[in-house]
Amino acid sequence: MIDPVNDFDVRVGARLLDFFDSRRPWNRRLWNVGLALTLQEVLEATAATRAGVLSDDSLGFLLNVAQKMVGTDPGAGSLEQRQTLQAALRTKVRLDGLEYHLISQQESFIRRGYLTRWAATLRGPDHPRVERAARAVASHLLDLGFSSDFLHRWWSYRLRHEAVVRRLADIIDDAQILASAEARDFEVLAPVVTAIRFPEGAAPDEWRPAPDVSHWLRSNRFDVAGVRQDGGFLFSIKALDPGSAAIRTSELMDRLISRMAVGTKRQLPFINSIWVKGEPKPFPLDRTNRGVWVSALERENLVYSVRPSGGIDAAIELLSHLQSSSPSAAVAGGWAAIEALLSEPSDRGGAADRLAMLVACSFPRAELTYLSYVLPTVDPALAAQLAEATENRDRSNIVAAALHTGVANIAALGPSDRAAAARMVELLANPHRVLHVIEDHAAIAFRRLYRQRNLVLHWGKTDAVALRASLRTAAPLVGAGIDRIIHAFYVDHLWPMQIVARARVALATVGSAVGPNCTDLLG
């Protein structure tokens, strides 16, 4: 387990578990992809720019992001290596040119020993910031293709339950060994409720009739009580862990369902479970809930409303694809929802920056509201004040004042909440700077989503290197931003561009004598 006395290691470990927990709210999730994947994006975008799919400005934005990441990431190698890579990223990279191949070679180098270099850095005297370290390690592992549930279990055991007390750097060395593992084959069974009646000799190799499905389940010692099946598909899936294999199978099922929808008049009713050989329990078939929550719909009793609302209803319909559709349909529908609400005729990509403003303005109250429900459990004085508050705005103001003056009992919180409280103390001390950093992170995630949309729709690129990572990072943020748009439209009677204008002024003036309170940036 991690040494509980080492506060830096404890807080990094807490953030790693936050990032690997798919149930965490948007304000505590991982918003970025790692350096190696960003460099792979650069190479792919260079080819897409040559093909006319992406603009020079789009590639330039990505190159600038990559250049900044390299400069602050010890996982990129020595100072000389980082400077050389940065110099290549500052040029207009051309497909198959010198800089292109230099970036390709350095990406391969970075990927091979990335976590080992981070472990060495954490053993040194000068630690990077907690957030930077946790984001770098978590994004690298997720980008490789591990499932978040698998990584959460892997890190939980080593951080909390392992008998030997170790430093975080030692665990990261173990993670490098994990990261070097090759994908392996998993047997995955997806049964159906009603069998497909194939013509003689036309059944695919993966199809198994009902008796064979039953035999496979029993021979692998699965509990089949209540399972009613009439055949199924037995796949061999290459993946890094069982959860990842289950996700890939769900995507494969989406593909089969789509084929049947346009190629036949029949449906393919799968049982809502899939079984992976060697795992004790089945996985849910629907593994694509991406954390897109627009809670304003329920708060304002609008879930079942049929009142016409122009583009708002259309955007919600498009947004639903971002939650659960296949990756290519998700980026297309998700970006279409954003563009429908926030684009201008001559500036489609600018919708990403406008949505990022809303996310940045939403962040303080989201985090303070969360803390207002955990701090009372360890701070009786604060609990008494919060008992009188009836609105989240009031609760947020009380917690913000307690954090800013240093009277809140932060030390008694659990590691994840303690790390969150420390982030809010920093934000309250310098809201203008910190909120713009948050805005930048959100804008990068949304710009990546826009690039993926263009690759899918204009290039037919359904296997882009950052497609799934883009959905993982951007989807919860899209939900948070559109939640504010829905609230503003129905409660304050503001159109999307009006609430963005309010956000822009708030971000420009927060922290000044005439600026808004951090808990009231959007009114």
Q: pLDDT value at position 190?
A: 93
Q: Which of 86-95, 318-327, 424-433, 507-516 has the lowest mean pLDDT?
A: 318-327
Q: Which residues of 116-154 are buried (b: 16+ CB within 10 A; e: fewer)?
A: bbbbebbeeeeebebbebbbbbbbbbbbbbbbbbbbbeb
Which is more confidently placed, 523 or 63? 63
Report the Cα 271 to chain-centroid distance in Å: 27
What are the structure tokens assigned to 40, written together? 């792979």
Q: 231-280 pLDDT, tens per residue? A: 999 999 999 999 999 999 998 888 888 888 888 777 778 888 999 999 99
Residue 307 is predicted with a pLDDT of 65
Res. 57: pLDDT tops 90: yes
406-411 average pLDDT score: 92
- Token pair for residue 333? 């529908």
Cα separation, 335 vs 454, in Å, equals 10
pLDDT at 122: 96
- Residue 301: band (very low, low, confident or very high) from pLDDT cuts 50, 70, 90: confident
Q: Yes or no: say if 445 and 32 are a contact pair by the CB < 8 Å rule.
A: yes
List, for residues 356-390, the tens digit of each pLDDT value. 999 999 999 999 999 999 999 999 999 999 998 98
Closest CA to 353 of 433, 458, 450: 450
Whether the per-residue pLDDT at 28 is higher than 70: the answer is yes
Domain boundaries along the sequence of the chain: 7-179, 184-284, 290-511
Please state, in angstroms and rounded to a whole number, the distance separating the CA atoms of residues 332 and 356: 19
Judge whether 273 and 283 are in contact, CB under 8 Å.
yes
Residue 269 tokens read as 């009713």
Sequence-separated (6 or more) residues with CB below 8 Å from residue 172: 115, 118, 119, 122, 137
> pLDDT, tens digit, for every residue of 220-232?
999 888 888 999 9
pLDDT of residue 219: 94
| Nearest alpha carbon to residue 36 among 109, 91, 130 | 109
Is residue 322 within 8 Å of residue 480, measured between CB atoms?
Answer: no
In sequence order, the 6+-apart residues with CB closer than 8 A to the CB of 257 are: 267, 268, 270
d(CA 241, CA 148): 10
Residue 288: band (very low, low, confident or very high) from pLDDT cuts 50, 70, 90 = low
Residue 195: per-residue pLDDT: 80
Q: E strands within 249-349?
A: 273-276, 283-284
DSSP state of 53: S
- Are the C-beta atoms of residues 388 and 395 closer than 8 Å to each other? no
